[in-house]
Amino acid sequence: MAEHAHYDDDAGFWEEHADRLGGPVVDLGAAVGRVTIRVALQGHEVWAVDTDREMLDVLAERALRAGVRGLIHAVPGSMTDPLPVSDAGLVMVPMNTLQLLRQRSDQVRCLASAASGLRAGGEMIFDLAMPHLRETRALQGEILDTGRGLDGDTGDVLLHTTTFDEVTPATGEVRMRIVVDRIHRDGSRTSVERPHHLHLYDPDEIPALALDAGLEVVAACGGFRGEPLGPDSDRHVWRLRRPGP
Ligand SMILES: C[S@@+](CC[C@H](N)C(=O)[O-])C[C@H]1O[C@@H](n2cnc3c(N)ncnc32)[C@H](O)[C@@H]1O
């Protein structure tokens, strides 16, 4: 299973920051290890945290096949829990995953746990979708083509569609469904539907969250290549640091 395999906008990004900051690395909401394994292949020890044990089982199998099982610790748990390490160089939350925390108290708890588990000078880095809530609300109910990819493990073709069922600009809350149609190599098709209830963050929310969690903002960019952040950006990418002693 590699439903997120089509997403490669961040290719090289997490590896570069892991090399710069050093391990151990913590991957919050690691799913099947799309990024965990890439970072372990750079030689870093990675702690992969996810609430979904099945995802972590797949991650472990994939890590074995990639020859990096010994560098990876798969940890069932929430990104609001204390980190499984106390001296991380990097806590990463790739692919909009922080958006799954809708309550501000949970968001602060997650950032504060990262702050406690980072060594001084270590960084928490995450990417988020830009809200564009009015435009998104205008698309409510439509079935949107959101990408095609190849499952590198099986050779299956994956077709992604997204439907926004409810968009609330006042709060940034969104209910949406992602459907992944899988065309197997023998031509048969199966489909999975994943409902999501998200908080889309306005970039203005992040500095206050960081402050409440004891982290300082190092950089906010509009993409993975250091693009300037502006109202037309597709995403916001944040680097927050645990201050030095
Ligand atoms: C968008 S996927 C993550 C994709 C992955 N980070 C990547 O870059 O390929 C979201 C993941 O977060 C997990 N998840 C949901 N709520 C969580 C929580 N509170 N703590 C940790 N993981 C959570 C889900 O099980 C799912 O695997």
Residues 177 and 198: their CA atoms lie apart, in Å, by 11
* pLDDT for the residue numbered 94: 98
Asked if residue 31 has its Cβ within 6 Å of ligand 1, the reply is: yes
Asked if residue 88 has its Cβ within 6 Å of ligand 1, the reply is: no
Asked if residue 38 has its Cβ within 6 Å of ligand 1, the reply is: no
Asked if residue 99 has its Cβ within 6 Å of ligand 1, the reply is: no
Residues 58 and 5: their CA atoms lie apart, in Å, by 14
- Measured in Å, residue 104 CA sits from the centre of ligand 1 at 18
On whether the CB atoms of residues 94 and 35 are closer than 8 A, the answer is yes
On whether the CB atoms of residues 160 and 146 are closer than 8 A, the answer is yes
Ligand 1 mutation target, pool 51, 98, 99, most atoms within 8 A of CB: 51
- All structural domains of the chain, each given as residue ranges with its CATH number in brackets, are 13-131+201-241 (3.40.50.150), 133-199 (2.20.25)
- Measured in Å, residue 42 CA sits from the centre of ligand 1 at 22
Q: Could you tell me the pTM of the whole model?
A: 0.92
Ligand 1 mutation target, pool 9, 32, 35, 50, most atoms within 8 A of CB: 50
- Measured in Å, residue 125 CA sits from the centre of ligand 1 at 15
Asked if residue 131 has its Cβ within 6 Å of ligand 1, the reply is: no
- Measured in Å, residue 186 CA sits from the centre of ligand 1 at 30
Residues 150 and 227: their CA atoms lie apart, in Å, by 28
Phi, psi angle pair for 50, to nearest 5°: -155, 150
pLDDT in 10s for each residue of the chain, 245 residues: 455 655 788 999 999 999 999 999 999 999 999 999 999 999 999 999 999 999 999 999 999 999 999 999 999 999 999 999 999 999 999 999 999 999 999 999 999 999 999 999 999 999 999 998 889 999 999 999 988 888 888 899 999 999 999 999 999 999 999 999 999 999 999 999 999 999 999 999 999 999 999 999 999 999 999 999 999 999 999 999 999 87
> Which atom of ligand 1 lies closest to the CA of 78?
20
* pLDDT for the residue numbered 142: 94
- Measured in Å, residue 70 CA sits from the centre of ligand 1 at 22
* pLDDT for the residue numbered 4: 63
